[in-house]
Amino acid sequence: MTTGNYPDTSSSTNTATAYNDDDDDDDDKPERGLSHVPQRYVLNPLHRSVSDPQAADVPVVDLADLHKGPAQRSTVIQGIKNACLHHGFFQVVNHGICQSVLDGVMESAKGFFELPEEEKLKYISKDVHKPVRCGTSLKDQADKVQFWRVFLKHYAHPVSQWIDLWPNDPPNYRKNMGEYSAEVMNLAIELMEAITESLGLGPNYLGKEMEEGMQVIILNCYPPCPDPRLALGLPPHSDYSCFTILLQSSQGLEIKDFLDGEWKVVPHKVDGSLQVHIGDHLEVLSNGIYRSLIHRATLNSEKNRISIASLHSMGLEKKMVTAAELVDEQHPRGYRESSFKDFLNFLATVDGSEGKSFLDSLKITN
């Protein structure tokens, strides 16, 4: 996904090239089909993706048994616990969202990015607090190092509150995105119940807070890059949310493996599965038992890659705190409380390429 904590990619020791004002040209945006990689997108070789990364071990959780009975539910909960502990992510199948809804929202996302530029310009903004905004890189030309993506972000829950602010082009955008947003929100509530149960907190620990919480939909388009070895679509980061549910059109997501710290590619499966990433607020809630996933977006030279991330957290100003049940003398509280609004305020004041971490700002150090 797509917003959160970014390791340093811009200091003199970490980048191959410094930011050049002469290179800051709107004609050098990636969606323009460039024949070269502008200097401001070029990363230090140490921070580039390798050409043939190892495939990640992807835990798959079948949600079909979640409501079949205590024994079957217990098996699913244990599978989610193992995935959160050892991987920080998992894929879900039999999640209840039909393929036609997934196909429809992906079609609408592709349609938005194919619109004439003047249509997309209606939503351009560098104000991270706006409920609907479009841009490039992390903060649309504001970062010292740029990243090869175009994005559209908008709030989505409840759909009725936000849908009139969404794009109405392509014509089916609001219908398809509305259906997907509502269904993935229901899935998120179900997943949160399972995750808190896996922590020993019970399924209803955050039920109401999630039902009344925030859902931010982020559409990412990673255009073909003339030399994918030189740049990234998004730098290594974790998501601020409790978790992110991700739908993607093709391979390009890489995760930092919990076990060996190596970057590994997540194989793309065209089977209706969805990816779930543990975010910063679940790390805070669990007192570090579950860690947020570090991931990045890589590029290809052949076609657009589209991802649709649904980030789920509590209400805008609702503070996530570490569960008291997970704090004791041997495991003291390790994190300060924070809200989605706190994250937005943090994001507004930092250069995302400089490595300042929202999660690190929450950690309590002795």
Which among 159, 147, 154 is positioned nearest to 128, based on CA atoms? 154
Which of 11-25, 64-78, 177-191 has the least mean pLDDT? 11-25
- Give the list of residues 6+ apart from residue 292 with CB closer than 8 angstroms, or none: 4, 5, 88, 238, 239, 277, 278, 279, 280, 282, 283, 359
Per residue in 31-73, pLDDT (tens digit) is 666 788 999 899 988 888 887 889 999 999 999 999 899 999 9
Asked if 249 and 258 count as a contact pair (C-beta separation under 8 A), the reply is no
139 pLDDT more than 70: no
Instruction: Name the burial class of residue 67, with classes exposed (0-12), middle (13-18) and buried (19+) by CB atoms within 10 angstroms of its CB.
Output: exposed
pLDDT on residue 202: 97
Q: Which residues pair with 256 in a beta bridge?
A: 263
CA distance 216 to 282: 16
Asked if 90 and 278 count as a contact pair (C-beta separation under 8 A), the reply is no
- Start-to-end Cα distance in the chain: 31
pLDDT on residue 28: 64
Please, what is the angle between helix 70-86 and helix 173-198, to 10°?
A: 90
Does 158 sit behind a cis peptide bond, omega within 30 degrees of 0 on the bond before it?
A: yes
pLDDT on residue 15: 29
247 pLDDT more than 90: yes
CA distance 71 to 85: 21
Per residue in 298-354, pLDDT (tens digit) is 999 999 999 999 999 999 999 999 999 999 999 999 999 999 999 999 888 876 555
pLDDT on residue 137: 76
Mean pLDDT of the chain: 88
- Measured over the CA atoms of residue 91, residue 290, residue 312 and residue 193, the dihedral's sign is positive
